[in-house]
């Protein structure tokens, strides 16, 4: 294994194993897909790898969350993001998803592992994966969202996000 591949794996594991937690208010500690993905992108960039954020949609009921938790979701469908990383040795893009930390393995979540060359498992079962161009447009729109809209979104989802955080905290290895 080349040092470059070993470094990729190390960076991936570092981000993946930050315990997953959704911030409940603006400024809260937040380590969900929307923060872990750009963090991994930045770190892989320092290692010389190109990557792009990809957006998908999924259904909460298709996750490994307990019914009592996902039933608190205000909407049955949600968005998720992961990376596509260009692997120079293979000259191809592969999906890399650092969302669920290895401590969450005890609850049956799909914990990704990465060999630095191939794709990882995704944290969710997508019902639609957006193209890189479509994804970039979605992220540009998200980046324009005013703080008051985010604050309202967090308020509307607080019980659900708290239920996810609490469930993971209780069950994390």
Chain segment 65-124, per-residue pLDDT in tens: 999 999 999 999 999 999 999 999 999 999 999 999 999 999 999 999 999 999 999 999
Question: CATH assignment of 3-168?
Answer: 3.10.620
Residues paired with residue 95 on neighbouring β-strands, in sequence order: 84
pLDDT digits 0-9 by tens, 14-56: 999 999 999 998 889 999 999 999 999 999 999 999 999 999 9
Tell me if the pTM is above 0.85: yes
Q: Which pLDDT value is given to residue 134? A: 98
pLDDT at 70: 93
CA distance 83 to 103: 21
Neighbouring residues of 56: CB distance < 8 A, sequence distance ≥ 6: 79, 80, 81, 82, 122, 124, 126, 127, 128, 129, 130
Give every CB contact of residue 26 below 8 A, 6+ residues apart in sequence.
147, 150, 151, 154
Residue 1 predicted with pLDDT over 60: no
């Amino acid at each position: 294994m080349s040092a470059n591949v070993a470094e990729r794996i190390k960076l991936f594991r570092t981000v993946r194993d930050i315990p997953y937690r959704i911030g409940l208010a603006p400024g809260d500690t937040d380590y969900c897909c929307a923060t872990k993905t750009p963090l991994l992108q930045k770190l892989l960039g320092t290692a010389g790898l190109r990557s792009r954020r990809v957006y998908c949609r999924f259904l909460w009921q298709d996750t490994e969350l307990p019914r009592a938790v996902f039933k608190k979701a205000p909407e049955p469908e949600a968005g998720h993001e992961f990376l596509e990383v260009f692997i120079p040795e293979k000259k191809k893009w592969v999906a890399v998803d650092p969302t669920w930390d290895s401590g969450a393995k005890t609850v049956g979540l799909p914990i990704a592992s990465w060999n630095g060359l191939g794709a990882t498992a995704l944290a969710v079962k997508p019902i639609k994966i957006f193209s890189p161009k479509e994804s970039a447009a979605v992220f540009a729109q998200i980046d324009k969202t005013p703080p008051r809209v985010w604050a309202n979104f967090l308020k509307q989802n607080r019980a659900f996000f708290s239920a996810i955080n609490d469930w993971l905290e209780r069950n994390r290895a």
